[in-house]
Structure 1
Amino acid sequence: MVAAEQKGNPKTASKETSKATAAAEHKILGPSDLTWGDAPPGLPAGAKMAVLAGDPGKKGPFTVRLQAPDGYKVAPHMHPTAENITVISGTFHLGTGDKFDESAGHEMTAGSFAVMPAGMKHFAWTTGETVMQIHGFGPFQIVYVNPVDDPRNVPKK
């Protein structure tokens, strides 16, 4: 843009810069600014989610926080896009494969990071209340290895 301002009409270049800046969302969020709601129905009940940036249901980058209670478990599943996880607090356990096996999990404490490539089967559970930050490229989808494990397939009472 600097080159455009030097060579072209400064007023036009300035307007283009302003439009580009307005299109890119600049946010600063403190913990009290987060709006928590129930996690999407593809996850087991009990977790809360806050969207920090983007929209995980639409094409494009997104960042969310997930708060899960002690003992929260997610059965083996995969995602069609990569999933990046940073543990903010608590202890998150992550294992790979198509069977839930706690002995095969990796303990992740606050500050730990993991990336799950698209299509990699994995499972997870928490020890203590745990907050994770997840970012990736939407739309974010969860495909369970065993459809019986999918909370969306449980009949509503």
Structure 2
Amino acid sequence: MLRTRIRPQLSLPALAVALSFAYGSAAAVELDPKAISIKLPDQINWVANPSGSESAVLVGDPNKPGLYVVLNKWKAHHNSKPHSHPNDRFITVISGTWWVGTGTDYDPEHLQPVSAGSFVTHYGNEIHYDGAKDEDTILQIVGIGPATSTPAPAK
């Protein structure tokens, strides 16, 4: 028994019209600003820091008590010195490779790489240092403020 499939034929102009209606109706929908807020990359306000990084506050205020979410961009060839924060911080590596170390002895030759997509917890009051080597690295940091930084005691 011979079976044949019937395929509807859609001309190229008809396909273009159908797609434009589908796209046009989807693009015309207005989102309710009470339900959702979107910041596009060019709307994120990056601020330079003396450490060779830039930061952008997305939610909250890291200088005040409460939840905050910031983006941190380590510029290539910049690292922090050993320090600690009073509260746990939860970090996702968004892009690049982040380089981390622990302890009071600053040793940039033995930093450990953390690749994009990784999740790291910095525990409160524990000493660490971090930064970027040959490429810029972007991190998302979530924590409870105030997000102060205390330099490690000198040896």
Q: 1:125 aligns with which of 123, 131, 136?
A: 131
Q: List, as ranges, runs of 4+ consecutive aligned residues in structure 1 with deviation greater than 4 Å.
A: none
Query: Which residue number corresponds to residue 89 of structure 1?
Result: 95
The one-letter code of the counterpart of 1:56 is P
1:57-76 correspondence runs (5 A): 57-76=63-82
Whose helix proportion is higher, 1 or 2?
A: 1
Question: Helix, strand or coil for the counterpart of 2:42?
Answer: helix
User: Aligned pair count?
Assistant: 120
User: 1: distance between equivalents of 2:128 and 2:146?
Assistant: 19
Q: 1:134 aligns with which of 134, 141, 144?
A: 141
Query: Which residue number corresponds to residue 42 of structure 2?
Result: 32
User: 2: distance between equivalents of 1:84 and 1:26?
Assistant: 24
TM-score (norm 1): 0.70
TM-score (norm 2): 0.70
Stretches of structure 1 lacking an aligned partner (at least 5 in a row): 1-21, 148-157
**Rg comparison, structure with higher value:** 2
Query: Which residue number corresponds to residue 5 of structure 1?
Result: none
User: 1: distance between equivalents of 2:100 and 2:109?
Assistant: 10
Stretches of structure 2 lacking an aligned partner (at least 5 in a row): 1-33
Tell me by how many angstroms 1:109 deviates: 1.3
For the 8 Å contact 1:37–1:50, the answer to whether it is kept is: yes
RMSD (CA atoms): 1.9
Tell me by how many angstroms 1:101 deviates: 1.8
Tell me by how many angstroms 1:91 deviates: 1.1
User: 1: distance between equivalents of 2:36 and 2:103?
Assistant: 38
